[in-house]
Structure 1
Amino acid sequence: MTGVTKWTGREAGLLRFAMRKSGKTFAELVGVNPRQITRWEGRGETLELSLANQAALDTLLARAKPDDQQRFAALLTERAAVEHDARAEELLRRDPRTSRHPGDGKLMVLVEEGIYLAGADNRSMWLDAFRVDIYPTTNGDYERFVQATGHRPPQHWTNGRCPADLTTHPVVWVTWHDATAYARWAGKTLPTAQQWEKAARGPRGRIYPWGNEPTAAKCNVAETGIDATTPVFRYQSGVSPFGVFDMCGNVWEWCSTEETPGSGRHELKGSAFTSPFQRATPSLRNAANATMRDNDTGFRCVAPA
């Protein structure tokens, strides 16, 4: 997995927990006094560790077992999700473009009407204004739909219920028909491929949501090495010009647009944790049969402005 940019007491504590080590054993592995571990964890993110200790933790993480590394990544992700949720609520209160949809309660943002640059050739296209979900539909969102309608739950849920550790992850194992049923229940629709692309690239044709630099670290793709979905709030530096998350990586997203009229195949956008970064370009075209379901395919919705 990728390393930690800056080790504080918080990250050190999460690594100890992920490795299932006592304070004494963890201190021996890092090469410090056990009292320092207690101090680090007590101070949390207010304590930035010395360069020597940061290097020691870098080495310890690199040599950790894959299961320990995955647990550590999951713990970091969960914390980031919780932290960002407060910022999202602040955005809701302050930004007049954002609103909560009355159907499913999800946070949406306005994409203004006008011309945008579309496709690999950046051709000019006009779209009317619309609202788009800031985050993909999560397992938690989808569970409310399943409980309200009796719709078939995804196959990776246990006894028809969303696993607690996946509540903020995008729902997967859903067909185009499943996604459409959720959208209808919520009083929304799936985005057209054009709406999805404009929400991802902005009006001026950015190659990626964050700009034109091919930075794989800003999204959950194969190169990231996580090999699983992540909470929809995680990649804050990868948001689009409209403030929309996960438009590159994490999961492919169903669109309402058919590949060719009557084909029964619908466009997918955004790439996924299973795909190489080169597949994450929002202008890229991909499609699948409407009955396809997989562990890397989900959706988000749009609504009228």
Structure 2
Amino acid sequence: MATGITRWTGREVALLREALRMKGTDFANKVGISSRQLVNWENRGASIKPFPGNQAALDTLLATASPDAQWRFAQSLTEQAAVGHDERTEELLRRDPRTIRHPVDGKVMMLVEEGIYLSGPNDTSIWVDTYRIDVYPTSNGDYEQFVRATEHQPPQHWPGGRCPSGLHDHPVVWVTWHDATAYARWAGKALPTVEQWEKAARGPKGHAYPWGEEPTAAKCNTAESGIGGTTPVARYQSGVSPYGIFDLCGNVWEWCSTPGTDGPDRYQLKGSAFSSPFDRAAPALENAASVSMKDNDTGFRCVTVV
């Protein structure tokens, strides 16, 4: 299970040496550098980028490592990604008194106060009681906590049933409505109703999009982006809603707790995905699917009632 690295820095070099459990001198000899140069790389961390020849040597060293060493390296990368996400979360918690960190899954949640908002294509006035909603969609990293705690079946895109290091901060996909509901139950949360989801996206004034009235495809990950896959949940900062909620347009469709109107055992989805054209991204639009449906563009986030 080779873990690819786009560009090595001193930080990844240190993680690889630790994963291989090699002394500095032996590792330096494998890469073709001096022990002093290795110490310099590791001390300077992400600020140092080895030359192309050294990059290739590191690629080879990783590719030829044992599966156990590759897994240790992947786990270290995952932990570092989690630290980076936690730093953003801590900043948000400090900056906005409406946010809390949930005690079970650790996700930051935003308070949405009770009141009327404009709902659906006809902007119908709807009252919604106070609740909290996850600022980010449930990520692969979040879902891994749940899988480890409950032994729930992991998503099919996880090699060996383990969260891929490069997708730690991407929304989890290949989850059915039942999977999403099981996670919410484990965390002491619930899937949002369509009213809760839409209010978080459109704000109290009922904007057409989270960011306002202009149909700006560049503010979210839809088919027009050309990315063709999920993106980190905190990437589209210019596309946040009036409540500061990310990815309410694009990236992945999100399961809701509201039944669909087009048949039994169907529940509504909101938000569109990387695979959807932008004209499907408006939060007021409706979609639904079977409870057993799972795909590479479908995930979820959770709410709690205050």
Q: TM-score range by the shorter chain?
A: 0.7 to 0.9
**5 Å matches for 1:42-53?**
none
The answer to whether structure 1 residue 245 and structure 2 residue 258 are counterparts is no
Q: Which runs of 5+ in 1 are unaligned?
A: 1-13, 18-41, 46-78
**Are 2:202 and 2:242, in contact at CA under 8 Å, matched by a contact in 1?**
yes
SS where residue 198 of structure 1 aligns? helix
What is aligned with 1:214? Answer: 215
| Shift of residue 220, structure 1, vs aligned partner | 0.3
Return 5+ residue gaps in structure 2 as ranges: 9-43, 48-79
Partner residue, 2:235: 234
The equivalences for 1:179-198 within 5 A come to 179-198=180-199
Specify the code of the residue in structure 2 equivalent to 1:136.
P
Q: Aligned pair 1:168/2:169, yes or no?
A: yes
Contact 2:210–2:248 (CA<8 Å) still a contact in 1?
Answer: yes
SS of equivalent to 1:117: strand
Q: CA shift at 1:288, angstroms? A: 0.1
Instruction: Please name the residue that 1:27 is paired with.
Output: none
In the alignment, the residues of structure 2 paired with residue 289 and residue 191 of structure 1 have an alpha-carbon distance, to the nearest angstrom, of 17
User: Is 2:189–2:303's contact at 8 Å kept on the other side of the alignment?
Assistant: yes
1:102/1:261 CA distance change after superposition, 3 Å: farther
Following superposition of structure 1 onto structure 2, how do residues 35-184 of structure 1 map, counting pairs within 5 Å?
Answer: 86-184=87-185
SS of equivalent residue, structure 1 residue 159: helix
Distance 1:15 1:158 in 2: 20
Which residue number in structure 2 is paired with residue 292 of structure 1?
293
> Is contact 2:117-2:203 (8 Å) kept?
yes
Q: Check 1:157–1:183 CA distance in 2 against 1; reply closer, same or farther (3 A cut).
A: same
Q: Distance in 2 between matches of 1:184 and 1:88?
A: 23
Structure 1 residue 93, shift from structure 2 partner: 1.5
Deviation at 1:95, TM superposition (A): 1.4
Deviations 1:165-215 (A, max 9, x none): 000000000000000000000000000011000000001010000000000
Q: What is the distance in 2 between the residues matched to 1:202 and 1:241? A: 5
Distance 1:226 1:150 in 2: 32
The number of residue pairs the alignment matches comes to 234
Query: Does the 8 Å contact 1:80/1:233 carry over to 2?
Result: no
Offset, 1:86: 3.3
SS in 1 for 2:255: strand
- 1:186 and 1:151, CA in 2 relative to 1: closer, same or farther beyond 3 A? same
- Normalising by structure 1, what TM-score? 0.73
- Report the TM-score when normalising by structure 2: 0.72
What are the superposed Cα offsets for residues 111-154 of structure 1, whole Å, 9 maximum, x if unpaired?
A: 00000010111110100000000000000000110000010000
Write the letter of the residue equivalent to 2:302.
C
Aligned-residue sequence identity (percent) comes to: 70
8 Å CA contact retained: 1:80, 1:234: no
Deviation at 1:102, TM superposition (A): 0.8
Q: 1:111 to 1:214 in 2, by over 3 A?
A: same
Task: Give me the whole-angstrom Cα distance separating, in 1, the residues matched to 2:253 and 2:95.
Answer: 30
Task: Give the SS at the match of 2:283.
Answer: coil
Counterparts of 1:226 and 1:97 in 2: how far apart (Å)? 33
2:264 matched to which residue of 1? 263
Q: Tell me how far 1:240 sits from its aligned partner.
A: 0.3
Q: CA RMSD in A?
A: 2.3
CA distance in 1, matches of 2:271, 2:263: 23
Query: Which stretches of structure 1, 4 residues or longer, exceed 4 Å deviation after superposition?
Result: 14-17, 79-85
Superposed CA deviations along residues 10-47 of structure 1, whole A, max 9, x for unmatched, are xxxx9988xxxxxxxxxxxxxxxxxxxxxxxx9x99xx
Aligned AA for 1:286? N
1:124 & 1:256 partners in 2: Cα distance? Answer: 20
The question of whether the paired residues in 2 share the 8 Å contact of 1:248 and 1:281 is answered with: yes
* One-letter amino acid of the structure 1 residue matched with residue 156 of structure 2: Q
Asked if structure 2 preserves the Cα contact closer than 8 Å seen for 1:197 and 1:283, the reply is: yes
C-alpha deviation, 1:261, in angstroms: 9.0
Q: What displacement does 1:94 show?
A: 2.8
| Amino acid aligned to 2:166 | D
Are the aligned partners of 2:273 and 2:298 in contact in 1 as well (CA < 8 Å)? yes
Letter in 2 for 1:238: G
